[in-house]
Amino acid sequence: MNFLRRHTDGVIAALLAAGTFLAVFFHSGGMGITRDESFYFDAAESHAGWFRTLLRAPREALQEGTIDRYYEINHEHPVLVKNLMALAHLAFGPAGRSQSSGEYVRAMRLPTHLNAALLAALVFLFGTSVAGRRAGLLAALLFVLVPRHFYHLHLACFDMPITTAWLAVVMAYRKADGSLRWSILTGLLFGLALSVKHNAFFIPLVLGLHWLIVKRREFSFGKAGLAFPRIPLAFFAMLLLGPLVLWLHWPWLWHHTFERVGFWLGFHLHHINYYWEFFGRLLTDPPFPWGYAFAVTAVTVPLPTLVLMALGLFAALRDRLGPPLARLLQRLRLWRRPAAASPDGVDLARERDDWLLILNGLFPIVLISLPSVPIFGGVKHWLSAMPFLCVLAARYLDGAVARLGGAIAPAARRWIFAGSAALVLLPSLLGLARVGTYGTSFYNELAGGVPGAADLGMQRQYWSNNVTGVLPWLNENLPRGARLYLHEVTGEAFRFYQRDGWLRADVRMAWGPEDADFCAYQYHREFVDAEYRIWNQTGTRRILHGLYLDEVPVILVYDCRRQGAGAIRP
Amino acid sequence: MLAVPSRSAWRLLPLSLIVASSLYAAGFWILSPRSLPTAEDTRAAGEHIRSNFAAGDAIAVRPWWAARLRETVGDLPWIPVRDLAAEDLSRYARLWVWVHAGYEAELGGPFASGTYTLEERREFGRGTLLRFRLPPPARILYDFRARLQEARVRMFSGGAPLACPRWEQDRFICTNRDWNYVGRMIVELGDDPREVIWAHPADSGPIEVEYPSVPHGALLRVHTGFTPPAARARDGAPVTLEVEIDGRPSARIVQENRTGFFPADVELAPFGSGPHRVVFRVSTPHAGMRHFCFTAEVRQ
């Protein structure tokens, strides 16, 4: 009991982690393979070959030719996650290329499922350290239960791992003030973040901004020249250890380092924009509307969570910007009331945390809102903001209950907090149950759910993994050896579906409706022509089967064998 | 007299907002699925349409994106447009509309004004099937898209004609370039799929589609448009569609670089009693990304 009492936070974090892992692991069975995952699976299998060589012939493994053979594939991303997938594949995946019943994808996703567990625990621990245990617990649950987050937690992609890494760096930085150990850890974690995804390049920018803001009183310019506060050790550690860890983890960088780093950065600096349906408009060319990321967040985060996030963010901004603004207005003689707090009276720890939450909660969203930043996807690009916004949300609810005053007994306030927290989480759970494994189709109550989003003209889905909704029907109804066109599904994913037993092995892949006996079309505003090609070819709009979410068509199956070209009009 | 809320009442405001938004959101997820028609409702509506379907009928759904009804009656004439009230339905005598709960108000314009008369209203679970009687339909004497195979297609290169005699499935093939054909297509024009004749002009010269024997009527109705990708091309040149009847120029339609399905009418009275030789000539100063389409019909 003493152990539990002494390590309550650790125990709660472990329980949260275990619960999240189990939820994601068992729910993953119905989650289709996204386009990006299919490329990463291929890459991880290739990297696994390098690990085999490393065990068998270490000297050979270090040679340029060998490294290139195994790491040339998908070299536009660092390999930390893919290396972990490779190791999981070696340890738990089906042997060779044999057929399996789900083991292949399960093994490939195992590292990101463990990441999901870690992330839930970290959000709790961070929330606890910033706002107290119950706020930490609520923050973790708010984060995990947002249906879009829950969806991304399943995937063998980099978006949730970079969210974890970003949060971990910030947590270490928070503790690094004057501590060599934590500073070194910050540097190492930053290196790991760089090894997950290039988003990590922006972490120093946010932390630098944070340092400038919280240390602003220590800057001065006088007769003695410019005086500025001590630069945190953590920044030097990030500068030195970050690139080193990145280089060490990625064998492809061991030769032609600068040239290859140049390629990697260049790829992302010149990334194309993907087409995106946004309030009835098909966005095709930059600049995208500046409010894009904010608006998409507003219609994809469950309403109560969104309201709490907004209240928490505004409260923190009011606390931080209110007093200086009042002082400024006072100086300009536009405000008569005395400013709320003098610099001496500021709770520095609270101020430091407030700015950490505000900057990290806003920066990823503001960044993607800049007109010059390419947009190639949905909420996944600013997920790293969400743990911070969830902590702000949970802290706000905690504060709102505390502000009810001393007239209510502390025990009663605890119950009020628990009750309102449960009420806030309920719509997330209901939304999650409603949308199931089709996470990219989730829209909140403000949008009117999936049907409301279809009315508004929002992106109905992306990444192609919703196709699992029609695979059982196809397995049951397709004639032997049928040629099947799975619109938007990559050739690799088609292969993996067959390998893992999701799709019958005798079914042959077709690259377009023209070569297919059966077609499964995914509704995308930018690809509607794919469906019209089917109509054109078959002469009918008749659907054999479909995946409908609240009656909104998501995947439509057509018999593409009928040749009645142009015969639609009577 | 209005009482000013006390300070403690103000403290309750944020919590009230949170509780209210949570209750609303939870209610939304619990109640909203109950307003949707089930698969069985939709199937029953489709079967009713099929058993009562007549020549000159067409089908539409509200909201525009609903598709499940096509599992039952997708092979019948369908009006798959977003703005049903603005659509030209003059080809049809009756319209069946399958409406989800809450979407009937979208049927404005002629549906609301009584121009289209509601003949039947039947509930199938949580959906409503409506049947409207439309004004007497136009008599289509000649549909150029449907009769495309009767046409002679040629393109010009350096002023010299080059016949496109090869007919494959639904199109006349002009060259090996995959866009260089004249064929029956369904493409997106504006926001909706349209059944059209694809006639991508070439840089080398105009494309001509000639119909040797077209019956006389009151009106030649032409629609033109660019696909959205074509209209997005920043340097997209306009395309000119010239219509020639019995060797006489009768219309010159310049399609500017925007997507949509734009109508134009040509009176046929000045051209005698027919039959007529009708030529559609498509040209542009610059053919890059000119996904131009048109359709035409002779109406009585």
pLDDT of residue A566: 47
- Rounded to 10°, the helix A159-175/A386-402 angle is 60
Asked whether the predicted pLDDT for residue A149 surpasses 50, the reply is: yes
Contact A31, A106 (CB under 8 A): no
Domains of chain B: 1-137 (no CATH), 140-299 (2.60.120)
> Is A90 contained in some domain?
no
pLDDT of residue A173: 98
- A429 with A542, same domain? no
Contact A112, A21 (CB under 8 A): no
- 3 state SS of A146: coil
Tell me the pLDDT band of B95, cut-offs 50, 70 and 90: very high
ipTM field: 0.93
CB contact under 8 A, B18 and A529: no
Phi, psi of B13 (to 5 degrees): -60, -50
- 3 state SS of A523: coil
Between CA B195 and CA B186 the distance in angstroms is 4
pLDDT of residue B211: 97
CB contact under 8 A, A528 and B14: no
> Is A173 contained in some domain?
no
CA distances from B107 to B98, B132, B134 (A): 11, 11, 14
Between CA B238 and CA B228 the distance in angstroms is 14
SS (H, E, C) A281-311: EEECCCCCCCCHHHHHHHHHCCHHHHHHHHH
Asked whether the predicted pLDDT for residue B28 surpasses 50, the reply is: yes
Tell me the pLDDT band of B7, cut-offs 50, 70 and 90: low
pLDDT of residue A570: 41
CB contact under 8 A, A304 and B22: yes
- A359 with A446, same domain? yes
Contact B265, B236 (CB under 8 A): no
| Min Cα separation B246/chain A (Å) | 28
Residues 6+ apart with CB under 8 A from B64: B80, B81, B82, B84
A301, A429, A536, A554: best mutation site toward chain B, by most B Cβ within 10 Å? A536
> Is A203 contained in some domain?
no
Residues 6+ apart with CB under 8 A from A167: A119, A122, A123, A126, A384, A387, A388
CB contact under 8 A, A545 and B71: yes
Tell me the pLDDT band of B5, cut-offs 50, 70 and 90: low
The residue out of A417, A434, A458 marking a domain boundary is A458
pLDDT of residue A365: 95
pLDDT tens digit string along A19-53?
999 999 999 988 999 999 999 999 999 999 999 99
Name which residue leads in pLDDT, A336 or A60.
A60
Between CA A528 and CA B80 the distance in angstroms is 12
Burial class (CB in 10 A: 0-12, 13-18, 19+), A95: exposed
Asked whether the predicted pLDDT for residue A249 surpasses 60, the reply is: yes
Mean pLDDT, rounded, of chain B: 94
pLDDT of residue B177: 87
pLDDT tens digit string along A324-378?
888 888 888 776 666 555 555 568 899 999 999 999 999 999 999 988 777 767 8
| Min Cα separation A311/chain B (Å) | 8
Between CA A397 and CA B18 the distance in angstroms is 8
Between CA A166 and CA A107 the distance in angstroms is 25
Mean pLDDT, rounded, of chain A: 93
The residue out of A397, A430, A458 marking a domain boundary is A458
Interval A129-158 mean pLDDT:
97
Which residue has 């209203």 as its token pair?
B121
Between CA A93 and CA A85 the distance in angstroms is 10
β-bridge pairing A552-559 and A545-549: antiparallel
Beta bridge partners of A222: A225
Asked whether the predicted pLDDT for residue A268 surpasses 90, the reply is: no
- A478 with A519, same domain? yes
pLDDT of residue A372: 79
Tell me the pLDDT band of B39, cut-offs 50, 70 and 90: very high
Between CA A412 and CA A208 the distance in angstroms is 42
Residue A277: name the closest of A58, A458, A9, A514 by CA.
Answer: A458
Asked whether the predicted pLDDT for residue A567 surpasses 50, the reply is: no
pLDDT tens digit string along A475-524?
999 999 999 999 999 999 999 999 999 999 999 999 999 999 999 999 99
| CA B147 to chain CA mean position, Å | 19
pLDDT of residue A373: 79
- A444 with A303, same domain? yes
pLDDT of residue A346: 62
* Contacts by residues A281-284 (CB-CB < 8 Å, ≥ 24 positions apart): A281/A457, A282/A525, A282/A526, A282/B228, A283/A375, A284/A526, A284/B232
- A471 with A552, same domain? yes
The structural domain count of chain A equals 2
Asked whether the predicted pLDDT for residue A223 surpasses 80, the reply is: no
- A437 with A489, same domain? no
> Is A114 contained in some domain?
no
pLDDT tens digit string along B108-120?
999 999 999 999 9
- A484 with A419, same domain? no
> Is A534 contained in some domain?
yes
Asked whether the predicted pLDDT for residue A391 surpasses 70, the reply is: yes
- Using CA coordinates, name the residue in chain B closest to A275: B229
- A538 with A429, same domain? no
pLDDT of residue B102: 94
- A354 with A378, same domain? yes
The residue out of A403, A425, A458 marking a domain boundary is A458
pLDDT of residue B116: 97
Q: Which domain holds residue A475?
A: 465-559
CB contact under 8 A, B80 and A541: yes
pLDDT tens digit string along A422-459?
999 999 999 999 999 999 999 999 999 999 999 999 99
Contact A458, A483 (CB under 8 A): no
- A400 with A380, same domain? yes
> Is A433 contained in some domain?
yes
Beta bridge partners of A508: A483
Residue A533: name the closest of B184, B202, B75, B228 by CA.
Answer: B184
- A357 with A434, same domain? yes
CA distances from A403 to A399, A552, B13 (A): 6, 44, 11
pLDDT of residue A94: 85
Interval A54-78 mean pLDDT:
96
- A301 with A397, same domain? yes
Question: What would the two tokens of residue B153 be?
Answer: 């297609």
Interval A296-325 mean pLDDT:
95
| Min Cα separation B279/chain A (Å) | 21
